[in-house]
Chain A
Amino acid sequence: KAGVTQTPRYLIKTRGQQVTLSCSPISGHRSVSWYQQTPGQGLQFLFEYFSETQRNKGNFPGRFSGRQFSNSRSEMNVSTLELGDSALYLCASSLAPAGNTGELFFGEGSRLTVL
């Protein structure tokens, strides 16, 4: 079956702009989690959605937001981009809510560069 699909794979933005990233989970998976990966901080949890509800949120400013649609597809948005937002943004889907010993299936990520 098709894996987790993230779009776009690469994008370049300038400071102050906003960006929307998309994630299509594996068919049947209702949980979608978002992570930011940087060389210095590793994978940091952004938020998790399950059945269109945000179940958990990491320690990121309000400029980072997300949502999940009825078909489980998810989007995350970052407004007023800063240089430090440059990172690989990973989406992961799972059958059960994340952290419930269920396996996370990751997409290939969206690499954002902020100039």
Chain B
Amino acid sequence: TQLLEQSPQFLSIQEGENLTVYCNSSSVFSSLQWYRQEPGEGPVLLVTVVTGGEVKKLKRLTFQFGDARKDSSLHITAAQPGDTGLYLCAGAGAGSYQLTFGKGTKLSVIP
């Protein structure tokens, strides 16, 4: 069974601060996705990373896939209240049609 561990589980920061969320596994993933879920809604895809060492930027969000494709990180610069939500990472194993989700990091950005 492939497991994805996310840390921290909860994060409360002031507006304007930077933060990093981690997603780690002992398994290799062929691809990894990051989703954000807001209360009362389903998760929405932010990014997909496929290549080891890949870095993708989405405005103030920077995503990195580890060289060994076992871990990933999400860095947010100058967090804003609109960034508040549950951040989920999800990995697909090689040849698998099943996405494994981490339990998520609940982020609160205080104005």
Residues of chain A touching chain B, judged by Cβ–Cβ distance below 8 Å, are 4, 33, 35, 41-45, 48, 50, 55-56, 58, 90, 92, 97-101, 103-109
Contact = CB atoms under 8 A, between A and B. Distances in A.
Interface of B: 30-31, 33, 35, 40-45, 48, 50, 88, 90, 92-93, 96-104
Given A42-B101, A100-B97, A104-B43, 11 more contacts: A42-B104, A43-B90, A45-B101, A50-B97, A92-B42, A99-B98, A99-B99, A101-B30, A103-B45, A104-B35, A107-B42
A108 B41 contact: yes
Given A99-B96, A99-B97, A108 B102 contact: no
Contacts of B101: 35, 42-45
A44 B90 CA distance: 11
Nearest to A42: B103
Given A4-B42, A106-B44, A109-B42, A42 B102 contact: yes
A58 B42 contact: no
Contacts, number: 68
A60 B102 CA distance: 18
A47 B43 CA distance: 17
A106 B44 CA distance: 7
Given A41-B103, A43-B88, A48 B42 contact: no
Contacts of A107: 42
Given A58-B98, A97-B97, A99-B98, A108 B40 contact: yes
A84 B93 CA distance: 29
28 contacts: A4-B42, A42-B88, A42-B101, A42-B102, A43-B43, A43-B101, A43-B104, A45-B98, A45-B99, A45-B101, A56-B96, A56-B97, A58-B98, A98-B92, A99-B31, A99-B92, A99-B96, A100-B97, A101-B50, A101-B92, A103-B33, A103-B48, A104-B35, A104-B43, A104-B99, A105-B45, A107-B42, A108-B42
